[in-house]
Structure 1
Amino acid sequence: MNQSQKAFIIGASQGIGLGFVKKCLENSSISTLFASYRHPESAAELLTLSRQHRDRLICLIMDITDEAQIQEATGQIQQHTDSLHFVINCVGLLHDSTLQPEKSLRQINPENLMRYFQVNSIGPALLAKHLLPLFQHNQRSIFATISAKVGSIGDNKIGGWYGYRASKAALNMLMRTVAIEYPRKGAKAIVITLHPGTTNTRLSKPFQRNVSPEKLFSIEKTVSQLWTVLENLEETDTGEFFSWDGTRLPW
């Protein structure tokens, strides 16, 4: 990366997002880092980092399912800078206290499907919409979103997880389409989706039982691997879907 880069990590309060914040703070080429979170009570470590790095780290409250909040946050960023060079969206929903991945058709309900799409698909598209002006410059820039291998239609051999799979497949299509439109609007950002592998986070915790130890990555390892993928991207890679090891995944 060049000197004086401006970065934005979305979903930075925990997990991979917080890992990327720490990685960015270690990188002297990133002069200003913006980081979003939803609730202060779950962002204690991030907010502590912001106090320790007042000159570089600016935290923003933003829920990507609320377009008004996205617009407000991007407006705050524009008060500091007119360009972003490194953006990664780490927000994703697989399960919570009321939502679990469906194992069969009988478990599908429209409310849960809508929640999956709002967080995993629609939110990132709204981000792309409002971040566009900050990518309208001629310097190298990257807009990456965490997807999942289970969102690959070509790779789906075992079924299940209807809402999560479908919302991640929709995410891949939306970001592919963004990658086509951005250059037409003067934004040269490399737009990609990333499969991080199974990472030891709250998101994967209930599903780690059948994962072999060497395939269960620490947050630090996942971030390091994805960082390497991002550093090696070429302009011709825009619109692609990459795994943690740099290989291209099927749609």
Structure 2
Amino acid sequence: MQPWALVTPASRGIGMELARRLLQTTNVPVVATARKDLDQTRENVLKGLDGVREDRLGVVKVDVLGQGLMVADEQSISDAAEQVSKWYPRKEAYLHLSLCVPGILFPEKAPSQINYDDALRTFQTNTLGPMMLIKHFSSLLPRKSATLSGEKGLPAQAVWMNMSARVGSISDNGLGGWYSYRASKAAVNQVTKTFDNYLRMSSGEKAMSISMHPGTVKTGLSKEFWGNVKEEKLFSTEYAADKLMEVINSRGIDDRGKFWDWKGEEVPP
């Protein structure tokens, strides 16, 4: 069976670099998602990747934000999963690696700064986005009866990775603030654990789910806080993608359902 990988979203930042890295370091097809400008996303992901077959990259529309403050556009996620399942039918292929990286941040230093609409959008993107992606794409992961192919550059078992953040750790919270972002990422870790319990039944040891903290990365999400981070702790998107994949590829089945940082150290819940 043909393994393939999913990176969502991949239009910029860490997601785009993860898609590029997979195209460079593996031989599997990669599905990238974007809210809009699919052709531009495709061009950006492939830019400068000499020797990479362009037909290995497929780009589909997925919108975890929806329009305005409405719920996430679940129909776009459902449509994308249906389209991809036609490219890679379950009888012939399986999802070996899903990198689910949506994220948005509205910092609140005090309760008075919490804005209802911003907080709603934070949960919509950071928590409901991954949840809806799991709903529609999880059936494409391998079942217990599947035979995994053992491709280079990929983990031994199929992995669904949800991007979290260290501030989502309740026991690690010594500073406070960032109410909606912290809460949404703590919820992501709960989603990861709950989904992994499901995979134990449906996939056995063939698939697992983990959460990951990428460190502070030079993206639009963290730009406002770059000045507060030591230079050696402020990562490029390329470096972050490399470290994330190093950790993912080194996780074993006993590491399932847990929350890991870019160094490969477990983050307490």
**Matched letter for residue 60 of structure 1:** V
Stretches of structure 2 that go unaligned for 5 or more consecutive residues are 65-71, 149-156
1:47 counterpart = 2:43: yes
Number of aligned residues: 242
Over 3 Å off, 4+ runs? 45-54
User: Which stretch has the larger CA shift, 105-114 or 219-228?
Assistant: 105-114
User: Are 1:229 and 1:244, in contact at CA under 8 Å, matched by a contact in 2?
Assistant: yes
Paired position in structure 1 for 2:158: 141
Rounded Cα–Cα distance in structure 2 between residues aligned with 1:48 and 1:102: 33
Structure 1 residue 202, shift from structure 2 partner: 1.2
Residue equivalent to 1:166: 183
Distance 1:17 1:153, change over 3 A: same
| Identity percentage of aligned residues | 36
Compute the displacement of 1:217 (Å): 0.7
Alignment of 1:214 with 2:232, yes or no, is yes
From 3, 6, 13, the equivalent of 1:5 is 3
State the alpha-carbon separation in 2 of the partners of residues 86 and 208 from structure 1: 30
Q: Does 1:126 align with 2:122?
A: no
Q: Which moved more, 1:169-178 or 1:43-52?
A: 43-52
| Structure 2 counterpart of 1:155 | 172
Contact 2:170-2:186 at 8 Å conserved across structures = yes
**CA distance in 2 between partners of 1:239 and 1:217 (Å):** 26
The match for 1:28 is 26
1:217-236 matches, within 5 Å, as: 217-236=235-254
User: Partner of 2:228: helix, strand, or coil?
Assistant: coil
Q: What is the RMSD of the two structures over their aligned residues, measured on CA atoms?
A: 1.9
User: What is the CA deviation profile of residues 111-138 of structure 1, one whole-angstrom value per residue up to 9, with x for unaligned ones?
Assistant: 2221111100111111111112101333
- 2:95 matched residue in structure 1: 84
Q: TM-score, normalised by structure 1?
A: 0.91
Contact 1:4-1:29 within 8 A present in 2 as well: no
Deviation sequence 1:94-123 (CA, Å, 0-9, x none): 1xxxxx311101112322221111100111
Rounded to whole Å, the distance in 1 between the matches of 2:185 and 2:133 is 16
Q: Name the residue aligned to 1:97.
A: none
Gapped regions of structure 1 (runs ≥ 5):
95-99
Counterpart of 2:102 in structure 1: which amino acid?
V
> Displacement of 1:10 after TM fit?
0.3
- Please list the CA deviations of residues 25-71 of structure 1 after superposition, one character each: whole Å capped at 9, or x if unmatched: 102332x1100001218x73533546984310000011122111111
CA separation in 1, counterparts of 2:7 and 2:266?
23
* CA spacing shift, 1:45–1:112, aligned 2, 3 Å: closer
- Return the letter of the residue paired with 2:127: S
Residue of structure 1 equivalent to 2:57: 57
